[in-house]
Structures are given as structure tokens and as C-alpha cells.
Structure 1
């Protein structure tokens, strides 16, 4: 093998390694602020596109932006439309690599700058503080990036003395098609469009390829990166598949438009070059400009169709929440990438479990329909008319609707606490979610015992016993109604106070005897066995009320921002 070809290959490998280190550095150094910027910029399409472009241009990693976007969509933090805006913007942001290489990397003796970066980068990367380690990885990444460009440039400069690749130039549309295909192949092999662009620019600077063919290679690099995204999404969740397909559609359409209009676009680049004072023979900067122009045009073309694309992707890639109720709706491996996304997913999953399973199981165990609880009917009338056994099998409902999801929540919560760096607030948030879920399971076990006695009383002709159990049902129903209003109404503070009062009353009741039961015993209106059941269920009901309110407060109480990463002065757990 020609030694200069080895030099070029080594340069590509070093550059790719530098890009990996850059991504890792920014992952540590700007994780919290980066996530907050991306999350808060998705309420408007223009903001999400701008944020995606700026962040990608800064950190030189569209893949990191894609990972964060997939995690946010999976956790329900942002909409698919907002995620599409970030991904389209990231495509514009990737053009920063071409400008960096063409405007800086090929103009100065880059190796001299790379070595100090590598020295300080390696020193910092061995530090314990996350921020210093991140700075070290960023510096080392930039050092390797520039060193890779240096080796590639040196390799091509010497390589042309032996073989002149420009003699294989093909003009016209045939050349466009051939070199676009070649760009796709190279990008698929390197798994990085940025690395392909760096390779194209260094070869162009060395005169190894013609400018016209370099334009086609750049188009191929853009299209080729979608193959990487598709391959990466094969084992992903529905959010990952939707974004990968959106990325594929965007780049294919952009590529086709660029191929069809490549010569008018080249003339447009010449016109802009004059305005920007770029020399007519400065083909590397003109290529960077071309790469930016056709990506921006692609975004402009896609903007009117984003809503349609969103509907198509939602319909084509069905979400699990449309399937079995026993399956987790928000939990998937993508949310485990970041503390904020896993906490949001755990919270949403727990709320879903409470709203759609626990609430219903408790209501039906009391022989009351959920629709009556959330209505504005008088509770006394609701209890009076709900005198038919609903034949609720609490155990079956627990195993079919709760157990699997509860197990997944605990698994994801424990995994997050064991693998992610969490600050004190985030650790407490996950602990609270685990406590809330444990209490939900305890509530189901408690209501199972209560249901047995409520069913038994229906078959006994003792109105005094029936009245006591009706009062128990009314107490729990009142709590369920206030919890429903607390989590659905705007005036949550009012219902939060009501819940605190009901919880206080339940605590007092647990410590005090039920005077009405004492009176029924003294008057021989109930048997000793009935009294025993009433006393047990009296304590059971008040304990359930406490747990129900605890769950509501833990899941629906106001939370601080959970996306913030650990600060230097804040304790973290690993």
C-alpha cells in the first residue's frame, strides 16, 4: 500500500477519534444547559430549527443532538414536531465543520496548534471534576481533529506526486451521479458526514478532485449520513425510528433537489462568493458555502410539510401507549441517557399508572364507577345508588394492569440511580417516585381486603353495618374526587389544602376509636365479629386515605426543574 495513502487513512482515523472525544467532552461539559436550551426551544418551529443549528455548530455533533432529542420525545418532554425542528436545524449546524476546515484548518500550520491542545486536553481529561474532564475532552478532541486534517492534507499533497486523482474527473450530470454515489459510499464506511467533508476538502485543497465533483461528493455525504441514522434506529424505540425516517426523508429530498439544480446552485455560490469577498479560486470556502446553501434550502422546502410529515410518522410508527394497558407507555432505553428524561418518563409512567389503573381498581373495589367519582354529583347520592356488587377481582386487576408496569418503574428508577450522575434534587425525585409506586401497590392490597367485607355486607340484612361501610366508601370516594380535582383543575392550591386537611383527619382517626362502632356494640346492633371487621377496616380506610394523598402529593405536587445537572458544589451519586 502506498505510504501516503496510509497517511491519509491515519488522518481520517485521528479526525474521527477527535470527533468522538469532542462529543464526549460536550456531553459532560454542557449537558445541563444544553438540554435546557433544546427543551425550551421547541415551542416554536423557528426556535427549534435555530437551536438545533446553533447547538450542533457549537458542539460539532449532530448525533449528540439526535440522542438528546430522541430521549426528550421518548420521555414526553417535547413533541415530535419540536424534535423534527431540532433535527432539521442540526443538518444546518453540521455545515459548521466545512467552514472550520476550509476557513481555518487548511489555512495555517494546524499541527502546531493541535499539539498544545492535545497536551492540555490530556492533562485536564484525567481530572476528577466533571467540568475539567469535559474541558480536557473538548481540547483533546479539537487537537485530534486538527491533527487529523494535518495528516490528511500532508498525505494528499505528497500523494499527487504519484497519482493524480483529478484525471478521473467526470463532468456533467453523469459526473454528478457518479460522485454523489461515491460520497454516499464513503460516508457509509466512515459513519460520519463531517469526516467525509473534511476528506473532500483536503483532497480539493490538494487539487486531487475537481470542484464540480467535490460538490457532488458533498451531496452524497449528506445523503449517506441518513444510512447511518437508519441503521442506528433499527433497534430503537418508536421515537428513534420516527426521527431517523424524518432525517432520511429530509436528506433524500434535499439531495435530489441539490442534484437537479446543482449547476444553478453553483452559480448562486459564485454570486454569494463575490458578495462575501471569497476568491473565485478559493474552492474550499466555496464548497463550504455550497454545503450550507443547499442544507438551508432543504429546510425551507420542508417547513410547509412538517405537520404532514409528523402525522405520517405518528401513523406509520405506532406508539406502545396505543397497545396493551399492562405495557409501559413512557419507559424505554432512550430515556436512560439523561437524568431529566428518565425522571420525566418515570413521573409520567407513574401518573399514568395511578390515573388509569390504581384509581379505577380502588373505585370498582368500592362498587363505585369512576365516572360518578369525577362527576359533580353529591357524594351521598353516589354512595346510595352504588349498591350493586361490581364483582371486582382486585388480584386479577393487579396482575393484569399494575404488576408489570410497577416492576418496570422500579427497574428503571434503580438503573438511573445506579448509572447516572444525579444531584440531590434528582436523587430525591426518583426516591419519591419509588415511594409513590410502593404506596400504590399497598393501596391495592388494602382495598382488596376492604372489598371482601363490602361484598359480604351486601348479602347481610343489617342496615347499621351497611351504613358504617357506606361511610367508609364515602370517605375514600371524597379523597379520590379531591385528588382528581387536584391533578386536573387550574386551582390546584385550593385542593392541595383540602387534601392536607383530609390527611390530618385520617391521622387523628387512626389514633382514636370510632365512637359510632362503640355505640352499635353497646346497643347490640352488630355482632362481635362484625365489630371486629369494622374496627380493622376503620384503621385500614384511614391508612388508605393517607397513602392516596401521599401518592397525589408525590406525583402531582410542584417540582423544581429536574433537567439541571449536578453543579460543582452539589453532591452527586453514582
Structure 2
């Protein structure tokens, strides 16, 4: 729960509460009930989160593909977790991560508002008439026992039972707290009539919901006060409207850490609750008479104010839903205009300007709202890695002086001619500058986001997170290999003999072909067989090129077309190119899987040592040795080298 007190005010607030509790034990009982109720909601939320596992995306796609399904999903989920604020915040996270559409998100929020009425009915029908403390005790025991299990599903069940037990205990304490006020303090004497009373109690309900971050807790206090005779019925109606309006503040706070997609849904939530509250206030006398008429038909007694309050809460939420449903298409257009779309996920945006002159790149899709749930966090992380992959391809192309069109699928013949043409001065960008400007910031944001993922992960989710982490490192290592390649490439473009210039043109062409091949992944997204075939051909072409290039260098060295210095430089730079290919392939293999377990088809490149003869001194042979991705450990196995940022 977010705090609305600055750190300096917290000791003062605690001291004031302590004095009040000491003076009025009844107030301490009431406050303890509210605290247990809120704590129970938190445990209930955590327990239901544990049930989703990694299947949340598939579950959402089936449950929200129609508007009526989204409404039902919002209603049911709120009835289960008894927290419309949680459902709204999770919906913002789902939308910001791309798991649901805006239409589905609006449907969930609208259904969630109607779902809050179930809590009022349960409390009015059962909670205020049954000794809930006796029911809560075994639930608390079972909840604590199961919550200590290591298995995620048992731990989730334990959290749910513990949450329900705390809710019941909180309700019982609040009942006892208000009952103890009888004869000590009569809050009903402070009742306000007319529109003044409506405004005061709407604001009171709004303030209570904002402070407790729970409209359910506000309704519970209202029902308990109403049942004990401490609150007038008319004032309770206004307080229920204020409680509904207070949830918009929670949505607004949640949207601050989200992207434009999440802000659209928060705005839709504010519009719905604001319009519903305004209509309810304008026709409040009519709604009150309608409640009396419906209560008479249902056989509810005139003095059963708690049931009539639950009926009123249902009626005005249902009225708002009926009024707002036809305007959803208009609302979507308006929200899209207020909060326009950002850059498409994984897009390769080619700009005519020099890449090093473009603005410094930072993460586009990572947001605090996504950290609420494991699936949303992994989803936005996947999107951000696609963004980093697109930037990596751009930086590698610019670092090897390839034309920007290579990222858009230029013909191979055109690429063949482009790498043999003179490189313009404007095209010779500094790889170190490109790395600092376009790669390091985004990768730093990814690392920071992963470090803040303070959520429990299932084993399969931990595997996905590890693969994503390695994919990000592979992308960074590919750019670093391009930085090394550029050092010699820059020297050889102007002063090199024709045979050396031609050899570096071949290296640049091979880099361009690798980028062209990986660029095809967007066309075959979702086709696992086509992706496996692409990576197989990619690996086969790389091995064939490596063998042919080394043979060509050896032949030119024997024919004295190259000297030893030139030959070793070419072989070293070829290995940097193979490092680029390997790291790109490993990263894109993980990203193509998109969190699913697929067979790893990329084998780390380890060429056979090739002897290169020196034309003058025949001493030790020069061995072409690839920069390893793995290394031997003490036990004789192999371990992966962890690259640094």
C-alpha cells in the first residue's frame, strides 16, 4: 500500500494515534479491525497471484477476447480478491505490457466496479450477523501452516486462507469497536441533512478510501457504523458514492509509473467512476426511492439499512455501467487521441540522420506498473529486449559502415556493390559513441528493472528470466565485438592495398548478410519450424564462410599477396565478425522463443586451428583461434563466461 505521509510526519501521526488509543480503547479496537481487514486483503491478493503461474497470458487471451467476457472477468476477479483497486492496477499493468487490448481493459474495469458490490452484500447478509471470529481462527491456523510450504500452489492456498481469516477477524473487531461506542459517543448526533450532508460524507468516503487504498474497507466501516446505529442512512449512501470515487486516486497513482497504454485505462477508470458518481449524486433522491421500491419487492424490511445500502451500491454501479457501455468506442478514440501510440515493439526505425546525432536511447517499455505481476514484468522485459535487439542491429550496421537499407532487407546484389564502394566521411561513425548513446542506457535500464523484480517466480518463469538476461548480455557483447572490428576496419578503408580492402569488403558483406537473415525473423514470427530452419542455415553459412575465408587468406599469404601482419589482422577481425554472428544468433534465438522452451539450434563457434605460413620466417605457425564463449572449469566441464556491462 502506498503511503501518503512524508517520512517526517510519520512519528507525529503514530504518536497522535497512540494517545487516542490510550484515551479510547474502543477506537483502538476499531482501528485494529481496519488494519486486519486491509492486511487480509493483501494476503488474499498475494495468494491469487500465486495461482496464475506462467499461464496468465493464455488465460487472459481466452477470458478477454470479447467485451462481455472482459466484464465477466472483471466482476469475477473482484468478487474473488475483494479489491477493485488491485484489479484496476493489474489491468493497467496488463495493458501496459500488451497482454490485453484497451477494449478488454475497459471491460475489466467496468466489471470490477460492479464486482465491488459483492463485498457489500456478503458483509450485509452474513458478516454482521455471524460470529466470524470463530470461523477465522481455524482459517488462520491452516493459512499459516500451508503458507510455509515450499510449493507455490500450496503457498498460494495458504495465503488465501490466511487472507480470508484476517478479513473475518477484522470485520468482527470493527463490529465490536462500533458496538462499544454505544453510550460513549453517538456519531448519529453529528449527522448532516440535505446537500451539505451529501457533500461532507462523499468527501469523507473519498478520503477514507484514499487513505486506506480500499473501497471495500470504507464500505465495511460504513456498514458496521450503520448496523450499530452510529451513522444515518442518508449519510451512508453519500459515503458509498465517495468510496467509489476514491478508487480513482489509486488508479491515477498507478498510472504515474505506467506508459501511455496504462494511462489510457486509468483515464477510462476515472471517467467511469466520475460520471457514475455525478449521475448518482444528481438523482440521489430518485435512487433512494428506487431502492425502497426494490427492497419492498424483495421483502427487505424498511429498517434493514445495511441490506438497503448494499442494494443502493449495486443499483448506482449498474446504472453507470448501462449508461457508459454504449460510449466505449467513443471513449477509446478519445483516449487514443489524448495518449497516442508509441514506437511499435521491436521496430527498426531507420532515420536519414547520422545515428550518433540521434537522441540518447533509453528503455521504452519498462514501467513500474509491470512489476506488480511476474507475467507482466516478463512481458515488458521481452518487449524491451526486442527494442535493444533492434538498436543493436542498427549500431552494428553503422559500426561496420553498412548502408542503413541493410536493416530493411536490401537485395544481396545491392549489398555486394555497396560494401565495395568508397565509404563517405559522414557514414564513418564511432562505435564507442554509438555504444554509449544507444546501447548502454537501454541495457542499464533492463538490468535495473530485473534487480527490482521483487516478485515470486515459478521455476519456468525463472528459466525465462535467465534466458532474457543472457540475451541482453549477448546483444551487448555483439556490439562490443563490432567495436573491436571497427578499429582495424577504420585504418584499412583508405590506405590498404586493393587485396586487403577487398578482404574487408567481404567481412562487411558477411556482417550485412547476417543482419539481413536476422531481419527475416519478424516475417516468420510464431512459426517455430521456419525459425529453426533460419537459424540452421545461419549457422551453416557462418561455418562455411569461416572455413573459406581462412583458406583464402592462407592461399594469398602463400602467393605473397599478403604479408604476415596483414594476414593475422584479417584473421583476428574475422573472429570478431564470428563473435558478432554468434552473439546475435544466441540472443535472437532466445527472443524468438518468446518465453517458450525450444531446442537451442545455435552451437558456439569453435573453428579448427589453421596454420598460416610466413613467407620469410618459418617459425611457429599462427593459429586462428576463436574468442571463446565458454571456458573449461576445474572439474573438466565447460562454463559460460559472464560478460560485463
Give the TM-score normalised by the residue count of structure 2: 0.77
Given that 1:507 and 1:546 are in contact with CA atoms closer than 8 Å, whether structure 2 keeps it comes out as no
Deviation at 1:225, TM superposition (A): 3.2
For residues 504 and 315 of structure 1, the distance between their equivalents in structure 2, rounded to whole angstroms, comes to: 49
1:40-439 to structure 2, matched below 5 A, reads 40-157=62-179, 159-161=181-183, 164-230=186-252, 243-274=265-296, 276-306=298-328, 309-310=331-332, 325-355=360-390, 357-377=391-411, 379-386=412-419, 387-389=421-423, 390-416=427-453, 419-439=454-474
Deviations 1:93-134 (A, max 9, x none): 222110110111123333333333334334444444444443
Given that 1:436 and 1:551 are in contact with CA atoms closer than 8 Å, whether structure 2 keeps it comes out as yes
Change in CA separation of 1:115 and 1:405 when aligned onto 2, cut-off 3 Å = same
For residues 549 and 416 of structure 2, the distance between their equivalents in structure 1, rounded to whole angstroms, comes to: 24
Q: How many residues align?
A: 558
For residues 290 and 42 of structure 1, the distance between their equivalents in structure 2, rounded to whole angstroms, comes to: 28
1:537 is aligned, of 567, 573, 591, to: 573
Q: Secondary structure at the match of 1:326?
A: coil
Q: Secondary structure at the match of 1:440?
A: helix
Q: Secondary structure at the match of 1:94?
A: helix
Change in CA separation of 1:35 and 1:209 when aligned onto 2, cut-off 3 Å = farther
1:458 aligns with 2:493: yes
Change in CA separation of 1:161 and 1:37 when aligned onto 2, cut-off 3 Å = farther
For residues 418 and 409 of structure 2, the distance between their equivalents in structure 1, rounded to whole angstroms, comes to: 14
Given that 2:188 and 2:229 are in contact with CA atoms closer than 8 Å, whether structure 1 keeps it comes out as yes
Q: Secondary structure at the match of 2:130?
A: coil
Given that 2:93 and 2:376 are in contact with CA atoms closer than 8 Å, whether structure 1 keeps it comes out as yes
For residues 175 and 573 of structure 2, the distance between their equivalents in structure 1, rounded to whole angstroms, comes to: 82
Given that 1:56 and 1:62 are in contact with CA atoms closer than 8 Å, whether structure 2 keeps it comes out as yes
For residues 9 and 420 of structure 1, the distance between their equivalents in structure 2, rounded to whole angstroms, comes to: 29
Q: Secondary structure at the match of 2:388?
A: helix
Two-structure CA RMSD over aligned residues (Å): 3.4
Deviation at 1:52, TM superposition (A): 1.5
2:516 is aligned, of 478, 481, 496, to: 481
1:507 aligns with 2:543: yes
Deviation at 1:396, TM superposition (A): 0.5
Gaps of 5+ in 1: 563-574
Give the TM-score normalised by the residue count of structure 1: 0.85
For residues 367 and 518 of structure 2, the distance between their equivalents in structure 1, rounded to whole angstroms, comes to: 28
1:440 is aligned, of 471, 475, 492, to: 475
Q: Equivalent residue for 1:548? A: 584
Deviation at 1:344, TM superposition (A): 1.8
For residues 495 and 211 of structure 2, the distance between their equivalents in structure 1, rounded to whole angstroms, comes to: 78
For residues 284 and 479 of structure 2, the distance between their equivalents in structure 1, rounded to whole angstroms, comes to: 66
Larger RCO, structure (CA 8 Å, separation 6 or more): 1
Deviations 1:60-100 (A, max 9, x none): 12233234233333433334443333233222222211011
For residues 502 and 150 of structure 1, the distance between their equivalents in structure 2, rounded to whole angstroms, comes to: 67
Given that 1:321 and 1:328 are in contact with CA atoms closer than 8 Å, whether structure 2 keeps it comes out as no
Given that 2:41 and 2:81 are in contact with CA atoms closer than 8 Å, whether structure 1 keeps it comes out as no
Q: Secondary structure at the match of 1:422?
A: coil
Given that 2:394 and 2:407 are in contact with CA atoms closer than 8 Å, whether structure 1 keeps it comes out as no
Deviation at 1:177, TM superposition (A): 2.8
For residues 441 and 369 of structure 2, the distance between their equivalents in structure 1, rounded to whole angstroms, comes to: 19
Given that 1:374 and 1:484 are in contact with CA atoms closer than 8 Å, whether structure 2 keeps it comes out as yes
